[in-house]
Amino acid sequence: GNTALMLDVARHAGLPWDMLLCADLFGHYKPDPQVYLGACRLLDLPPQEVMLCAAHNYDLKAARALGLKTAFIARPLEYGPGQTQDLAAEQDWDLIASDLPDLHRQLAASA
């Protein structure tokens, strides 16, 4: 979704993000490398120090190809009960989480 939509979702869910970067900020859409590399530039970090957390395997594959760390977060009902894609991690991503709290636990344990 676009930045305004993602901000509304985050506020409604009570997610205290420090920053929210969406593809529309870069005038390109994932998996275009400009999105991932643009986010790294805005953060002033090299790709190796940035992690993309996503529920889409194609998205993680593109990010990994550019050197970003990857975390798969399962969202098996994102497209409804008939969803057939992205039900599970399709590669050995850096982290594989069942949900955001699980990702938080894994990140905290590795710190």
Give which of 39, 41, 14, 42 is closest to 54, Cα–Cα.
39
Q: Read off the pLDDT of residues 77-105 as tens digits, 9 standing for 90 and up.
A: 888 999 999 999 999 999 999 999 999 99
Q: How confident is residue 16, by pLDDT bands cut at 50, 70 and 90? A: confident
pLDDT at residue 20, rounded to an integer: 87
User: How would residue 19 be classed by pLDDT, with cut points 50, 70 and 90?
Assistant: confident
pTM: 0.87
What the chain holds in terms of domains, given with CATH numbers, is 3-110 (3.40.50.1000)
